[in-house]
Amino acid sequence: MSDSREPAEGRERTAAGLTAGGPESQRSGPAADARPERVVLDAVAIDRAVMRIAHEILERNTNPQEIALVAIVRGGVAVAGLIGDRVAEIAGTSVRSGELDVTLYRDDVIGRGKRPIPHRTKMPFSVRGLRVVLIDDVVFTGRTIRSAMDAVIDFGRPEAIQVAALVDRGHRELPIQVDYVGKNIPTSRGEQVLFRTATGGGYEVVLQ
């Protein structure tokens, strides 16, 4: 997940309205749009990855009532929905879920000289004593995850904070660990990793 969600990073959206990538997934450079794209995770591979992540979450956190799946807005929302469905299916019960906007917690917003536009946060519960799993689509530098950790503390003191991402593309700028990852994809800093709605339905991850 992607680092992260503010408009200053030029997030893109598909025609279906799903956020496709963000600061954690972005590439840079004037020739970026000329790069050919390659599907690195299709719908079937994403389903397998999500199922594995759900099993791993429940193996590490054995009491579903103590789990809170918190999506990082915007890229993590769809991924969190997929993981949440699988966790509920395996555990036989739903778990707490929320959506966390970290725009105002990022350390690079002011430096960009652009006014950030916050998005809606949906956290209808205190995280005190819970085992919070922050969920994003793509993790890159780690700055969005760090911001999310700061933001989640505003909702109480959790028992633990863990991180799940569909894709880890490397290039950390901060010592952030992804506890549950669908796929590690080696990339150059000039490439972009996008999680988006696929033409034939479902989701896909492409590398550009």
Question: Residue 67: inside a domain, yes or no?
Answer: yes
Cα 180 from Cα 53, distance rounded (Å): 6
Chain segment 108-156, per-residue pLDDT in tens: 665 566 666 677 899 999 999 999 999 999 999 999 999 999 999 999 9
pTM for the predicted model, two decimal places: 0.81
> Considering its fold, how many domains does the chain have in total?
1
Q: What's residue 31's pLDDT?
A: 45
Question: Residue 1: inside a domain, yes or no?
Answer: no
Contact 72, 136 (CB under 8 A): yes
In Å, how far are 40, 43, 61, 96, 131 from 196, measured between CA atoms? 12, 10, 29, 25, 28
Nearest CA among 43, 8, 35 for reference residue 22: 8
The CATH number assigned to the domain holding 54 equals 3.40.50.2020
Question: Residue 31: inside a domain, yes or no?
Answer: yes
Contact 130, 68 (CB under 8 A): yes
Q: What's residue 119's pLDDT?
A: 75
Q: What's residue 174's pLDDT?
A: 94
Chain segment 173-201, per-residue pLDDT in tens: 999 999 999 999 999 999 999 999 999 88
Question: Residue 2: inside a domain, yes or no?
Answer: no
Domain that holds residue 32: 7-207
Nearest CA among 74, 72, 85, 11 for reference residue 46: 85
